Chains A and B, each alone.
Chain A
Amino acid sequence: MTNGAGCLALVLLWVARAATAQARIDERWPLDAAGSVRIVHPAGRVRVVGWDVDSLAVVGTLAPGAGRFYSAGDGHVRKLGVDIPADERIAGRGDLVVRVPRRTNVWVKSATADIEVEGVDGTLDLTSVRGAIHVVGTPQDVTAETMDGAVEIAGGTGRARVKTVSGAILLRGASADIGASTLSGAIVVRAAGWQRGGTGVQRGKFESVTGDVRFDGELGRGGVVEFETQSGNIAVRVPGRTVADFDALTIGGTITNTLGAAQPTPRANGAGQELRFSTGAGGAQVTVRSFKGGILLEPK
Protein backbone atom coordinates (compact mmCIF):
# COMPACT_ATOMS: atom_id res chain seq x y z
CA MET A 1 0.00 0.00 0.00
CA THR A 2 2.80 2.35 1.00
CA ASN A 3 4.73 1.40 -2.13
CA GLY A 4 1.62 2.02 -4.28
CA ALA A 5 1.09 5.49 -2.81
CA GLY A 6 4.75 6.29 -3.33
CA CYS A 7 4.58 5.25 -6.99
CA LEU A 8 1.46 7.34 -7.50
CA ALA A 9 3.15 10.33 -5.94
CA LEU A 10 6.16 9.91 -8.24
CA VAL A 11 3.94 9.64 -11.30
CA LEU A 12 2.01 12.76 -10.28
CA LEU A 13 5.27 14.61 -9.69
CA TRP A 14 6.55 13.58 -13.11
CA VAL A 15 3.29 14.63 -14.79
CA ALA A 16 3.36 17.97 -12.97
CA ARG A 17 6.96 18.57 -13.99
CA ALA A 18 6.25 17.61 -17.59
CA ALA A 19 3.25 19.93 -17.66
CA THR A 20 5.23 22.90 -16.38
CA ALA A 21 8.54 22.19 -18.07
CA GLN A 22 9.80 24.83 -20.43
CA ALA A 23 10.99 23.82 -23.87
CA ARG A 24 14.49 25.10 -24.53
CA ILE A 25 15.57 26.30 -27.95
CA ASP A 26 19.17 26.51 -29.08
CA GLU A 27 19.60 26.43 -32.84
CA ARG A 28 22.01 27.88 -35.36
CA TRP A 29 22.08 28.14 -39.17
CA PRO A 30 24.29 29.93 -41.72
CA LEU A 31 22.80 33.18 -43.05
CA ASP A 32 24.13 35.61 -45.65
CA ALA A 33 25.46 38.91 -44.38
CA ALA A 34 22.51 40.68 -46.02
CA GLY A 35 19.97 37.87 -45.80
CA SER A 36 16.41 38.04 -44.56
CA VAL A 37 14.70 36.55 -41.56
CA ARG A 38 10.99 36.32 -40.86
CA ILE A 39 9.94 35.71 -37.31
CA VAL A 40 6.48 34.93 -35.97
CA HIS A 41 6.26 34.95 -32.21
CA PRO A 42 2.81 35.28 -30.64
CA ALA A 43 3.40 35.91 -26.95
CA GLY A 44 6.23 36.78 -24.63
CA ARG A 45 9.27 38.56 -25.95
CA VAL A 46 11.46 38.36 -29.02
CA ARG A 47 14.80 40.10 -29.09
CA VAL A 48 16.71 40.41 -32.35
CA VAL A 49 20.35 41.36 -32.03
CA GLY A 50 22.76 42.17 -34.86
CA TRP A 51 26.21 40.60 -34.71
CA ASP A 52 29.26 40.38 -36.92
CA VAL A 53 28.89 36.69 -37.74
CA ASP A 54 27.40 35.18 -40.90
CA SER A 55 24.97 32.97 -39.10
CA LEU A 56 21.65 33.11 -37.35
CA ALA A 57 21.34 31.77 -33.83
CA VAL A 58 18.24 31.36 -31.71
CA VAL A 59 18.14 30.66 -28.02
CA GLY A 60 15.12 30.81 -25.80
CA THR A 61 12.46 29.08 -23.84
CA LEU A 62 8.82 28.27 -24.45
CA ALA A 63 6.45 27.83 -21.56
CA PRO A 64 3.79 25.11 -21.77
CA GLY A 65 0.99 26.29 -24.03
CA ALA A 66 3.24 28.76 -25.80
CA GLY A 67 3.29 26.67 -28.97
CA ARG A 68 5.93 24.81 -30.93
CA PHE A 69 9.15 26.25 -32.32
CA TYR A 70 9.75 25.82 -36.05
CA SER A 71 12.23 26.97 -38.62
CA ALA A 72 12.72 26.62 -42.36
CA GLY A 73 14.78 28.27 -45.04
CA ASP A 74 18.26 28.56 -46.45
CA GLY A 75 21.27 30.85 -46.30
CA HIS A 76 19.38 33.72 -47.94
CA VAL A 77 16.03 33.63 -46.20
CA ARG A 78 15.01 31.91 -43.00
CA LYS A 79 11.60 31.73 -41.38
CA LEU A 80 11.31 30.85 -37.76
CA GLY A 81 8.89 31.26 -34.96
CA VAL A 82 6.39 29.74 -32.66
CA ASP A 83 3.39 28.03 -34.13
CA ILE A 84 0.07 27.75 -32.36
CA PRO A 85 -2.69 25.62 -33.87
CA ALA A 86 -5.44 27.80 -35.36
CA ASP A 87 -8.08 26.48 -32.98
CA GLU A 88 -6.04 27.10 -29.81
CA ARG A 89 -5.61 30.23 -27.75
CA ILE A 90 -2.17 31.37 -26.62
CA ALA A 91 -1.71 29.85 -23.19
CA GLY A 92 1.94 30.51 -22.45
CA ARG A 93 4.74 32.88 -23.27
CA GLY A 94 8.04 32.36 -24.95
CA ASP A 95 11.26 34.30 -24.85
CA LEU A 96 13.46 34.22 -27.91
CA VAL A 97 16.80 35.86 -28.60
CA VAL A 98 17.63 35.80 -32.28
CA ARG A 99 21.11 36.84 -33.38
CA VAL A 100 21.44 37.84 -37.02
CA PRO A 101 24.13 39.33 -39.26
CA ARG A 102 24.07 43.08 -38.84
CA ARG A 103 22.77 43.88 -42.34
CA THR A 104 19.93 41.37 -42.22
CA ASN A 105 16.43 42.46 -43.22
CA VAL A 106 14.17 41.52 -40.35
CA TRP A 107 10.40 40.97 -40.36
CA VAL A 108 8.71 40.22 -37.07
CA LYS A 109 5.07 39.67 -36.31
CA SER A 110 3.63 39.14 -32.85
CA ALA A 111 0.30 39.10 -31.08
CA THR A 112 1.17 40.21 -27.57
CA ALA A 113 4.91 39.63 -27.61
CA ASP A 114 7.19 42.60 -27.14
CA ILE A 115 9.62 43.07 -30.01
CA GLU A 116 13.13 44.39 -29.39
CA VAL A 117 15.72 44.96 -32.10
CA GLU A 118 19.27 46.06 -31.40
CA GLY A 119 22.16 46.76 -33.73
CA VAL A 120 20.54 45.60 -36.96
CA ASP A 121 21.30 47.83 -39.97
CA GLY A 122 18.96 46.29 -42.55
CA THR A 123 15.29 46.97 -43.14
CA LEU A 124 12.98 46.29 -40.21
CA ASP A 125 9.30 45.51 -40.56
CA LEU A 126 7.82 44.98 -37.10
CA THR A 127 4.18 44.35 -36.32
CA SER A 128 2.48 43.54 -33.05
CA VAL A 129 -1.13 43.64 -32.02
CA ARG A 130 -0.61 44.49 -28.37
CA GLY A 131 3.09 44.23 -27.69
CA ALA A 132 5.63 47.02 -27.38
CA ILE A 133 8.29 47.63 -30.01
CA HIS A 134 11.79 48.90 -29.23
CA VAL A 135 14.46 49.55 -31.81
CA VAL A 136 17.96 50.68 -30.96
CA GLY A 137 20.60 51.19 -33.61
CA THR A 138 20.91 52.47 -37.14
CA PRO A 139 18.60 50.42 -39.34
CA GLN A 140 18.21 51.54 -42.91
CA ASP A 141 14.44 51.60 -42.79
CA VAL A 142 11.94 50.89 -40.02
CA THR A 143 8.24 50.19 -40.25
CA ALA A 144 6.67 49.56 -36.85
CA GLU A 145 2.99 49.06 -36.15
CA THR A 146 1.23 48.09 -32.96
CA MET A 147 -2.25 48.66 -31.68
CA ASP A 148 -1.76 49.09 -28.01
CA GLY A 149 1.92 48.78 -27.32
CA ALA A 150 4.41 51.60 -27.07
CA VAL A 151 7.00 52.14 -29.78
CA GLU A 152 10.46 53.53 -29.20
CA ILE A 153 12.99 54.02 -31.95
CA ALA A 154 16.37 55.24 -30.81
CA GLY A 155 19.47 55.84 -32.86
CA GLY A 156 19.37 56.85 -36.49
CA THR A 157 17.30 55.49 -39.33
CA GLY A 158 17.19 56.54 -42.94
CA ARG A 159 13.44 56.27 -42.85
CA ALA A 160 10.98 55.37 -40.12
CA ARG A 161 7.23 54.91 -40.23
CA VAL A 162 5.46 54.20 -36.96
CA LYS A 163 1.78 53.64 -36.35
CA THR A 164 -0.11 52.85 -33.21
CA VAL A 165 -3.72 53.02 -32.14
CA SER A 166 -3.29 53.89 -28.48
CA GLY A 167 0.37 53.22 -27.83
CA ALA A 168 2.80 56.04 -27.17
CA ILE A 169 5.49 56.73 -29.74
CA LEU A 170 8.97 57.93 -28.83
CA LEU A 171 11.41 58.70 -31.61
CA ARG A 172 14.88 59.83 -30.69
CA GLY A 173 17.98 60.02 -32.78
CA ALA A 174 19.25 61.10 -36.15
CA SER A 175 16.49 60.12 -38.52
CA ALA A 176 16.04 62.21 -41.63
CA ASP A 177 12.68 60.92 -42.79
CA ILE A 178 10.19 60.01 -40.12
CA GLY A 179 6.46 59.59 -39.90
CA ALA A 180 4.43 58.76 -36.82
CA SER A 181 0.71 58.31 -36.58
CA THR A 182 -1.44 57.41 -33.61
CA LEU A 183 -5.07 57.66 -32.71
CA SER A 184 -5.02 58.18 -28.96
CA GLY A 185 -1.37 57.75 -28.02
CA ALA A 186 1.17 60.50 -27.57
CA ILE A 187 4.01 61.22 -29.96
CA VAL A 188 7.33 62.49 -28.64
CA VAL A 189 10.21 63.27 -30.97
CA ARG A 190 13.56 64.07 -29.39
CA ALA A 191 16.32 65.26 -31.60
CA ALA A 192 19.19 65.53 -29.18
CA GLY A 193 21.43 63.33 -31.29
CA TRP A 194 20.98 65.24 -34.48
CA GLN A 195 23.56 67.84 -33.62
CA ARG A 196 26.11 65.06 -33.55
CA GLY A 197 26.37 64.33 -37.24
CA GLY A 198 22.68 64.20 -38.14
CA THR A 199 21.07 66.45 -40.72
CA GLY A 200 17.91 67.19 -38.76
CA VAL A 201 14.50 66.09 -39.89
CA GLN A 202 14.26 66.45 -43.66
CA ARG A 203 10.81 65.02 -43.91
CA GLY A 204 8.49 64.45 -41.02
CA LYS A 205 4.83 63.90 -40.49
CA PHE A 206 3.35 63.46 -37.04
CA GLU A 207 -0.36 63.02 -36.64
CA SER A 208 -2.79 61.99 -33.94
CA VAL A 209 -6.45 62.30 -33.13
CA THR A 210 -6.51 62.86 -29.37
CA GLY A 211 -2.88 62.27 -28.46
CA ASP A 212 -0.46 65.10 -27.81
CA VAL A 213 2.46 65.62 -30.15
CA ARG A 214 5.75 67.03 -28.93
CA PHE A 215 8.70 67.73 -31.19
CA ASP A 216 11.94 68.72 -29.58
CA GLY A 217 14.84 68.98 -31.97
CA GLU A 218 16.45 70.25 -35.12
CA LEU A 219 14.84 70.76 -38.47
CA GLY A 220 16.83 69.99 -41.60
CA ARG A 221 17.51 72.87 -43.94
CA GLY A 222 14.90 72.61 -46.67
CA GLY A 223 13.08 70.01 -44.62
CA VAL A 224 9.33 69.64 -44.64
CA VAL A 225 7.66 68.81 -41.34
CA GLU A 226 3.94 68.50 -40.65
CA PHE A 227 2.02 68.16 -37.43
CA GLU A 228 -1.66 67.40 -37.30
CA THR A 229 -4.08 66.56 -34.50
CA GLN A 230 -7.78 66.59 -33.93
CA SER A 231 -7.80 67.50 -30.24
CA GLY A 232 -4.29 66.76 -29.07
CA ASN A 233 -1.94 69.59 -28.19
CA ILE A 234 1.09 70.19 -30.37
CA ALA A 235 4.36 71.56 -29.00
CA VAL A 236 7.24 72.34 -31.35
CA ARG A 237 10.52 73.21 -29.67
CA VAL A 238 13.39 74.02 -31.99
CA PRO A 239 16.67 75.89 -31.53
CA GLY A 240 16.13 79.65 -31.48
CA ARG A 241 18.40 80.07 -34.52
CA THR A 242 16.25 77.73 -36.67
CA VAL A 243 15.59 79.03 -40.16
CA ALA A 244 12.10 78.00 -41.23
CA ASP A 245 8.72 79.08 -42.50
CA PHE A 246 6.05 78.34 -39.92
CA ASP A 247 2.40 77.92 -40.81
CA ALA A 248 0.12 77.14 -37.86
CA LEU A 249 -3.64 76.94 -37.68
CA THR A 250 -6.17 75.75 -35.17
CA ILE A 251 -9.92 75.92 -35.50
CA GLY A 252 -10.92 75.64 -31.85
CA GLY A 253 -7.67 75.90 -29.91
CA THR A 254 -5.11 78.62 -29.31
CA ILE A 255 -1.65 79.29 -30.70
CA THR A 256 1.21 80.40 -28.48
CA ASN A 257 4.43 81.52 -30.11
CA THR A 258 7.62 82.48 -28.34
CA LEU A 259 9.91 81.67 -31.24
CA GLY A 260 9.63 85.18 -32.55
CA ALA A 261 7.61 88.32 -32.30
CA ALA A 262 4.85 87.18 -34.65
CA GLN A 263 1.56 86.53 -32.93
CA PRO A 264 -1.51 84.62 -34.07
CA THR A 265 -4.45 86.36 -35.59
CA PRO A 266 -8.08 85.36 -35.92
CA ARG A 267 -8.66 83.52 -39.15
CA ALA A 268 -9.84 85.79 -41.92
CA ASN A 269 -12.47 83.30 -43.04
CA GLY A 270 -14.05 81.25 -40.31
CA ALA A 271 -13.30 80.44 -36.70
CA GLY A 272 -9.92 79.83 -35.17
CA GLN A 273 -6.45 81.28 -35.12
CA GLU A 274 -3.62 81.23 -37.60
CA LEU A 275 0.00 82.22 -37.59
CA ARG A 276 2.42 82.42 -40.46
CA PHE A 277 5.93 83.71 -40.12
CA SER A 278 9.39 83.10 -41.46
CA THR A 279 12.73 83.25 -39.70
CA GLY A 280 14.68 83.31 -42.97
CA ALA A 281 14.69 82.09 -46.53
CA GLY A 282 15.63 78.58 -47.63
CA GLY A 283 14.94 76.90 -44.33
CA ALA A 284 12.49 74.24 -43.31
CA GLN A 285 8.75 74.40 -43.84
CA VAL A 286 6.75 73.63 -40.74
CA THR A 287 3.01 73.14 -40.99
CA VAL A 288 0.96 72.71 -37.83
CA ARG A 289 -2.74 71.93 -37.94
CA SER A 290 -5.13 71.14 -35.13
CA PHE A 291 -8.87 71.07 -35.01
CA LYS A 292 -9.18 72.05 -31.37
CA GLY A 293 -5.85 71.34 -29.76
CA GLY A 294 -3.48 74.03 -28.60
CA ILE A 295 -0.33 74.83 -30.56
CA LEU A 296 2.91 75.93 -28.91
CA LEU A 297 5.95 77.10 -30.82
CA GLU A 298 8.94 77.83 -28.61
CA PRO A 299 12.73 77.90 -28.63
CA LYS A 300 14.74 75.12 -27.03
Chain B
Amino acid sequence: MMCPEMEVRLNEYVDGTLAARDRASVEEHLASCAGCRGAVAELRSLVAEAHGLPRSIEPKRDLWGDIARRLGKRETGDGKRWWRGALAAAAVLVIALGLYRLVPPFTAHYRPAGGGVGWAAVQADFDRASGELGRALALERHRLRPETVALLERNLEIIDAAIAESRAALARDPANAELRGLFAAAYRHKVELLRWAAHAATS
Protein backbone atom coordinates (compact mmCIF):
# COMPACT_ATOMS: atom_id res chain seq x y z
CA MET B 1 0.00 0.00 0.00
CA MET B 2 1.25 3.44 -0.91
CA CYS B 3 2.26 5.78 1.90
CA PRO B 4 -0.64 8.30 2.00
CA GLU B 5 1.68 11.27 2.41
CA MET B 6 3.49 10.30 -0.81
CA GLU B 7 0.44 10.40 -3.07
CA VAL B 8 1.01 13.85 -4.44
CA ARG B 9 4.73 13.47 -4.91
CA LEU B 10 4.36 10.11 -6.62
CA ASN B 11 1.86 11.58 -9.07
CA GLU B 12 4.24 14.41 -9.85
CA TYR B 13 7.15 11.97 -10.03
CA VAL B 14 5.36 9.91 -12.65
CA ASP B 15 4.28 13.07 -14.48
CA GLY B 16 7.91 14.20 -14.54
CA THR B 17 7.08 17.54 -12.95
CA LEU B 18 9.14 17.19 -9.78
CA ALA B 19 12.20 19.35 -9.20
CA ALA B 20 15.50 17.44 -9.29
CA ARG B 21 15.94 17.65 -5.52
CA ASP B 22 12.45 16.31 -4.86
CA ARG B 23 12.89 13.62 -7.50
CA ALA B 24 16.00 12.36 -5.74
CA SER B 25 14.13 12.35 -2.44
CA VAL B 26 11.27 10.33 -3.94
CA GLU B 27 13.69 7.86 -5.52
CA GLU B 28 15.37 7.41 -2.17
CA HIS B 29 11.99 6.65 -0.62
CA LEU B 30 11.07 4.26 -3.42
CA ALA B 31 14.24 2.27 -2.84
CA SER B 32 12.97 1.31 0.59
CA CYS B 33 9.19 1.20 0.09
CA ALA B 34 7.63 -1.62 -1.89
CA GLY B 35 4.13 -0.13 -1.54
CA CYS B 36 5.11 3.10 -3.21
CA ARG B 37 7.06 1.25 -5.89
CA GLY B 38 3.89 -0.67 -6.67
CA ALA B 39 1.90 2.55 -6.79
CA VAL B 40 4.40 4.10 -9.20
CA ALA B 41 4.15 1.03 -11.45
CA GLU B 42 0.36 1.34 -11.43
CA LEU B 43 0.49 5.05 -12.20
CA ARG B 44 2.91 4.48 -15.08
CA SER B 45 0.70 1.77 -16.45
CA LEU B 46 -2.31 4.09 -16.21
CA VAL B 47 -0.48 6.89 -17.97
CA ALA B 48 0.67 4.52 -20.72
CA GLU B 49 -2.87 3.27 -21.21
CA ALA B 50 -4.22 6.82 -21.27
CA HIS B 51 -1.69 7.76 -23.94
CA GLY B 52 -2.92 4.83 -26.01
CA LEU B 53 -6.48 6.11 -26.03
CA PRO B 54 -7.80 7.77 -29.19
CA ARG B 55 -7.90 11.56 -29.00
CA SER B 56 -11.65 11.53 -29.20
CA ILE B 57 -14.29 8.84 -29.38
CA GLU B 58 -17.25 9.60 -31.54
CA PRO B 59 -20.47 7.73 -30.83
CA LYS B 60 -21.64 5.57 -33.71
CA ARG B 61 -24.82 7.60 -33.88
CA ASP B 62 -26.27 10.60 -32.15
CA LEU B 63 -27.85 9.18 -29.01
CA TRP B 64 -29.41 12.46 -27.93
CA GLY B 65 -31.95 12.46 -30.74
CA ASP B 66 -33.42 9.13 -29.62
CA ILE B 67 -33.36 10.10 -25.97
CA ALA B 68 -35.00 13.47 -26.63
CA ARG B 69 -37.73 11.81 -28.68
CA ARG B 70 -38.42 9.37 -25.85
CA LEU B 71 -38.52 12.18 -23.33
CA GLY B 72 -40.73 14.15 -25.68
CA LYS B 73 -43.39 11.46 -25.42
CA ARG B 74 -43.96 12.69 -21.84
CA GLU B 75 -44.33 9.25 -20.42
CA THR B 76 -45.86 9.12 -16.99
CA GLY B 77 -44.83 7.31 -13.84
CA ASP B 78 -41.52 6.38 -12.30
CA GLY B 79 -40.10 5.09 -15.55
CA LYS B 80 -40.01 8.61 -16.92
CA ARG B 81 -38.25 9.97 -13.89
CA TRP B 82 -35.82 7.08 -13.94
CA TRP B 83 -34.96 7.83 -17.55
CA ARG B 84 -34.29 11.46 -16.82
CA GLY B 85 -32.27 10.60 -13.75
CA ALA B 86 -30.26 8.17 -15.84
CA LEU B 87 -29.77 10.81 -18.52
CA ALA B 88 -28.59 13.29 -15.93
CA ALA B 89 -26.23 10.70 -14.51
CA ALA B 90 -24.91 9.91 -17.98
CA ALA B 91 -24.29 13.57 -18.72
CA VAL B 92 -22.49 13.97 -15.41
CA LEU B 93 -20.41 10.93 -16.25
CA VAL B 94 -19.44 12.39 -19.60
CA ILE B 95 -18.34 15.62 -17.94
CA ALA B 96 -16.61 13.76 -15.15
CA LEU B 97 -14.65 11.75 -17.70
CA GLY B 98 -13.72 14.96 -19.45
CA LEU B 99 -12.59 16.45 -16.16
CA TYR B 100 -10.63 13.32 -15.35
CA ARG B 101 -8.79 13.71 -18.59
CA LEU B 102 -7.74 17.10 -17.37
CA VAL B 103 -7.46 16.88 -13.65
CA PRO B 104 -7.04 13.87 -11.39
CA PRO B 105 -9.77 14.05 -8.76
CA PHE B 106 -8.80 15.46 -5.38
CA THR B 107 -5.12 15.27 -6.14
CA ALA B 108 -3.18 18.16 -4.80
CA HIS B 109 -0.77 20.14 -6.93
CA TYR B 110 -2.33 18.98 -10.12
CA ARG B 111 -0.81 20.35 -13.24
CA PRO B 112 -2.89 19.61 -16.31
CA ALA B 113 -0.52 18.66 -19.06
CA GLY B 114 0.38 21.42 -21.45
CA GLY B 115 0.44 21.17 -25.18
CA GLY B 116 -3.27 21.27 -25.81
CA VAL B 117 -3.66 17.53 -26.39
CA GLY B 118 -7.37 16.92 -26.67
CA TRP B 119 -8.19 20.24 -25.00
CA ALA B 120 -10.59 21.41 -27.66
CA ALA B 121 -12.33 18.04 -27.54
CA VAL B 122 -12.61 18.27 -23.77
CA GLN B 123 -14.20 21.73 -23.98
CA ALA B 124 -16.62 20.43 -26.59
CA ASP B 125 -17.45 17.50 -24.28
CA PHE B 126 -18.20 19.95 -21.48
CA ASP B 127 -20.49 22.04 -23.62
CA ARG B 128 -22.35 19.12 -25.11
CA ALA B 129 -22.79 17.24 -21.86
CA SER B 130 -23.84 20.26 -19.79
CA GLY B 131 -26.28 21.17 -22.57
CA GLU B 132 -27.81 17.71 -22.40
CA LEU B 133 -28.01 17.84 -18.64
CA GLY B 134 -29.59 21.28 -18.83
CA ARG B 135 -32.22 20.03 -21.29
CA ALA B 136 -33.00 17.06 -19.08
CA LEU B 137 -33.37 19.40 -16.14
CA ALA B 138 -35.63 21.73 -18.14
CA LEU B 139 -38.10 18.89 -18.52
CA GLU B 140 -38.23 18.37 -14.76
CA ARG B 141 -37.96 21.91 -13.47
CA HIS B 142 -41.70 22.13 -12.86
CA ARG B 143 -41.14 19.66 -10.04
CA LEU B 144 -38.87 22.11 -8.22
CA ARG B 145 -40.20 24.77 -5.87
CA PRO B 146 -40.14 28.29 -7.33
CA GLU B 147 -37.57 29.46 -4.79
CA THR B 148 -35.33 26.52 -5.69
CA VAL B 149 -35.65 27.38 -9.38
CA ALA B 150 -34.73 31.00 -8.57
CA LEU B 151 -31.72 29.83 -6.59
CA LEU B 152 -30.70 27.53 -9.40
CA GLU B 153 -30.97 30.24 -12.03
CA ARG B 154 -29.08 32.75 -9.91
CA ASN B 155 -26.22 30.34 -9.38
CA LEU B 156 -26.20 29.14 -12.97
CA GLU B 157 -25.67 32.77 -13.97
CA ILE B 158 -22.77 33.01 -11.53
CA ILE B 159 -21.12 29.86 -12.76
CA ASP B 160 -21.70 30.62 -16.42
CA ALA B 161 -20.08 34.02 -15.92
CA ALA B 162 -17.12 32.35 -14.24
CA ILE B 163 -16.81 29.83 -17.07
CA ALA B 164 -17.00 32.62 -19.64
CA GLU B 165 -14.24 34.51 -17.82
CA SER B 166 -12.00 31.47 -17.73
CA ARG B 167 -12.74 30.66 -21.34
CA ALA B 168 -11.88 34.20 -22.45
CA ALA B 169 -8.67 34.12 -20.46
CA LEU B 170 -7.81 30.77 -22.01
CA ALA B 171 -8.44 32.15 -25.47
CA ARG B 172 -5.79 34.79 -24.74
CA ASP B 173 -3.39 32.33 -23.12
CA PRO B 174 -4.31 28.87 -24.43
CA ALA B 175 -1.28 27.01 -23.11
CA ASN B 176 -1.72 28.18 -19.53
CA ALA B 177 -2.02 25.06 -17.41
CA GLU B 178 -3.21 27.01 -14.36
CA LEU B 179 -6.03 28.56 -16.35
CA ARG B 180 -7.04 25.15 -17.57
CA GLY B 181 -7.16 23.96 -14.00
CA LEU B 182 -9.37 26.89 -12.99
CA PHE B 183 -11.58 26.41 -16.03
CA ALA B 184 -12.00 22.74 -15.18
CA ALA B 185 -12.83 23.65 -11.58
CA ALA B 186 -15.50 26.10 -12.71
CA TYR B 187 -17.03 23.46 -14.94
CA ARG B 188 -16.92 20.98 -12.09
CA HIS B 189 -18.99 23.40 -10.03
CA LYS B 190 -21.49 23.65 -12.85
CA VAL B 191 -21.72 19.88 -13.06
CA GLU B 192 -22.31 19.71 -9.33
CA LEU B 193 -25.03 22.33 -9.52
CA LEU B 194 -26.81 20.59 -12.39
CA ARG B 195 -26.42 17.26 -10.66
CA TRP B 196 -27.97 18.72 -7.54
CA ALA B 197 -30.87 20.22 -9.38
CA ALA B 198 -31.51 17.08 -11.42
CA HIS B 199 -31.37 14.98 -8.26
CA ALA B 200 -33.73 17.30 -6.40
CA ALA B 201 -36.18 17.31 -9.30
CA THR B 202 -36.24 13.58 -9.90
CA SER B 203 -36.19 12.27 -6.34
Contact = CB atoms under 8 A, between A and B. Distances in A.
Interface of A: 129-130, 145, 147-148, 163, 165-166, 179, 181, 183-184, 202-203, 205, 207, 209-210, 222, 224-226, 228, 230-231, 247, 249, 251, 269-271, 285, 287, 289, 291-292
Given A209-B162, A251-B178, A147 B8 contact: no
16 contacts: A130-B147, A147-B196, A165-B193, A183-B159, A183-B189, A184-B155, A224-B7, A224-B109, A228-B182, A230-B165, A230-B166, A251-B182, A269-B176, A289-B182, A291-B166, A291-B182
A141 B108 CA distance: 21
Contact of B155 (A165, A179, A207, A292): A165
B108 A183 contact: no
A230 B190 CA distance: 13
Nearest to A127: B199
Contacts of A183: 155, 158-159, 189, 192-193
A205 B158 contact: no
Contacts of B169: 251, 291
B181 interface: yes
A285 B9 CA distance: 10
B178 A249 contact: yes
Contact of A247 (B109, B154, B165): B109
A184 B151 CA distance: 11
A183 B196 CA distance: 12
B148 interface: yes
Given A183-B158, A183-B159, A289-B182, A165 B151 contact: yes
A230 B162 contact: yes
Nearest to B196: A147
Nearest to B9: A285
A145 B106 CA distance: 17
Contacts of B189: 181, 183, 207, 209
B151 A205 contact: no
Nearest first, the 9 closest Cβ-Cβ pairs linking A and B are: A224-B108, A230-B162, A222-B5, A270-B173, A291-B182, A129-B200, A209-B162, A226-B108, A183-B189
Interface of B: 4-5, 7-8, 106, 108-109, 147-148, 151, 154-155, 158-159, 162, 165-166, 169, 173, 176, 178-179, 181-182, 185-186, 189, 192-193, 196, 200
A158 B71 CA distance: 43
A291 B169 CA distance: 10
Given A165-B155, A226-B108, A231 B179 contact: no
A271 B173 contact: yes
A230 B200 contact: no
A203 B182 CA distance: 20
A181 B190 CA distance: 12
B179 to A, nearest CB: 7
B151 A231 contact: no
Given A209-B189, A247-B109, 19 more contacts: A129-B148, A130-B147, A130-B148, A147-B151, A147-B196, A165-B155, A181-B192, A183-B158, A183-B189, A205-B106, A222-B5, A230-B162, A249-B178, A251-B169, A270-B173, A285-B108, A285-B109, A287-B109, A291-B162
A228 B185 CA distance: 8
Contacts of A166: 151, 154-155
Contacts of A287: 108-109
B165 A291 contact: yes
A289 B110 CA distance: 11
